[in-house]
Amino acid sequence: MARRDETGDNDEGDVGGARGRSGQIVFEDPTADLEMLPSNMTEIYYPQSWSDLPPELGDLVLRRLPSHMDHVRFAAACSHWRFIRRQHSVPQPLPWLAFPDGTFLGLPHTKGIQETFNLPNSASYHSSCGDWLVFSRECTCFLMEPFSKATLTLPGLSSFGPIDEPVGIINDPVIVNEEMHDVVFHKDTKISLCKVTMCSELLVAAIVDIGPLHTVAWCRPTSASWFVSELGLKRSIKDMIFYKGKLYVIDNLKDLLAIEVREDHNGGNIRISQIECVLEGSFPTIRLIEDGISYIGEYLIESNGTLLRVRRTFFGKVFDDDIISTTIKPVDAHFEIYAADFQLRRWVEVKGVEDDQALFLGKSYCRSLSVSRYKLKGNFVFFLDDGTCDWFWKGAPSRCAGYNMRNEDLVFIPPLTGSSKDLNTTTTWVFPRC
C-alpha cells in the first residue's frame, strides 16, 4: 500500500523509504512479496495460552529479570515455565539474609535494588545449609528449601550411635580416651546441632554436641540414626567444609583434618575409612589493643577451587560500669585470609581474593560468589551477627557488615526500613539455587 507524499502525489518507490521521482520519499506495501511464498510459510503461530510460551522466548524474559525472586515467580506460574527456568543458565544469585521471624532481606545491589519478603513457614529455623534452612524441634530434625518448600527429613536427635572409624589419625599420635567414650555413648541425652553440611544428596554431616562431646556426626536422609565420630575426643573442632569429595575440619590449633567416608553397601551403614592431618597450623599472631579485648572466629570456605581459612577478629574496649560490672564497646574488626597449600602442608597468608569475588561468612554456612554483575565490590567480606559475639553487634545499625580487604575499611550494610518487626536479631545466609 503506497503512502501519499507531501505534494499529494501517490508515487511508488523502494521499500524502506527509497526516493522516487523529484526526490520524493515513497513507501510500498512491505507484505506484497509474501504472495509469492508458499502458504505454509505465511502462517503465524499464536500460543493458545501463556503455558505454551516457546522456550527461547522464556529464556529472553529470564535474562531481563535481575531479581532472583522474579525468577522464582516465573517458575511458579506453571510446570512448563518451571521447565524453562531449569533449562535457563544463570549466574549464582546473591544470598538472602534470613531472620527468625521468616523475613528475608536481600543485599542492596544493582542500582541500589534491595528486596524483602516474608515466608511464615521459615520462622523459627535453627540454622542454614546452602539453599536449605535447618529446623530442630524437640526430637525431630529436617531441612526445608524455603522457596519451593521441599523438605528433607533427618534422623531424630535422640537416635545415634558410634560410627565405624580408625583408631588413630594419620600424622597424629593422640589416642582416644575410652572412658569418655563410655560416658558419652551410654548417656541418656540428645544430639544438639551446631552446623549442618550437605555432602551429597545421600550424605549429611554435622558438628554436634552430645553431652560434653563436641564432635562430627553423619547421617543419610530419611535414615533412622546418626553415626557419631570420636574425633571430638581428640581435637577441638571449630569448623568444617565438604571439599573435593572429603569432609575437612579445622581444630583450635588450626590443623586441617581430611575425613574420608564410605558407605557399607551390605548393611547400609556409614563408616570412616581414613582421617588424616593434612595441614599443620602455626601459632597465630594475636592482635591486641590497650585496655581491650578481642574475639576470634575461624571459617573454612572455598573460592575458585582453593580452600581458604578466614580469621575474623573483633576488637573491643572494656569499661568499668561499677565495682561488679563492665561494658565492652566494639572498636574495630580485622580479617586475615590463608590458602591451603597441601604440598607444603601449611597455611599461606594471602592478601585477599579475586577482584570479582566476595566472601559471605556465617557460623552456619559460608560461600564465595562472583559479584561483579551485581555492581558489588570484589575482594570483599560480608559477615553476619550469627550469635557468636554479642558485644560487637550491640547497638550496631544492622546485623550485616562488610570488610574491604584492600583498604581494611569496615562498613555496616543498612537494612531496608520496616522490612521486619525485629531486625536486631541474629541471622543467617540462604543461597538460593540457580
The average confidence (pLDDT) of the chain is 81
pLDDT exceeds 50 at position 343 = yes
Average pLDDT over residues 318-334: 84
Strands 192-200 and 237-243: unpaired
In the block, cell 573435593 appears at 244
Tally the domains of the chain.
1
Q: Which residues of 351-360 are buried (b: 16+ CB within 10 A; e: fewer)?
A: ebbeeebbbb
Q: Is residue 428 part of a domain?
A: no
**Judging by beta carbons within 10 Å of its beta carbon (0-12, 13-18, 19+), is residue 234 exposed, middle or buried?**
buried
Q: CA-CA distance, 425 to 413, in Å (whole number)?
A: 15
Give the rounded percent of residues in the chain with a pLDDT score beyond 90: 42
Average pLDDT over residues 349-356: 94
pLDDT exceeds 90 at position 28 = no
Q: Please, what is the angle between helix 68-76 and helix 55-63, to 10°? A: 150
Ranked by mean pLDDT, the top range of 104-118, 161-175, 247-261 is 247-261
Q: Is residue 168 part of a domain?
A: yes
Q: Is residue 249 part of a domain?
A: yes
pTM here is 0.80
pLDDT exceeds 90 at position 423 = no
Give the rounded percent of residues in the chain with a pLDDT score beyond 70: 78
Going by C-alpha positions, the residue among 373, 245, 237, 371 that lies closest to residue 303 is: 371
Average pLDDT over residues 144-154: 89
Q: Is residue 289 part of a domain?
A: no
Q: CA-CA distance, 72 to 97, in Å (whole number)?
A: 17
Q: Is residue 158 part of a domain?
A: yes
For 290-307, the pLDDT digits (tens) are 778 899 999 999 999 999
Q: Is residue 290 part of a domain?
A: no
User: What's the pLDDT at 382?
Assistant: 96
For 353-407, the pLDDT digits (tens) are 999 999 999 999 999 999 988 888 899 999 999 888 999 998 888 889 999 999 9
Q: Is residue 416 part of a domain?
A: no
Strands 237-243 and 226-228: unpaired
Q: How far is CA 210 from CA 206, 350, 381, in A?
A: 12, 36, 33
Give residue 205's domain range: 152-279
Q: How far is CA 97 from CA 80, 125, 128, in A?
A: 30, 13, 10
Q: Is residue 412 part of a domain?
A: no
Which is more confident, 233 or 268?
A: 233
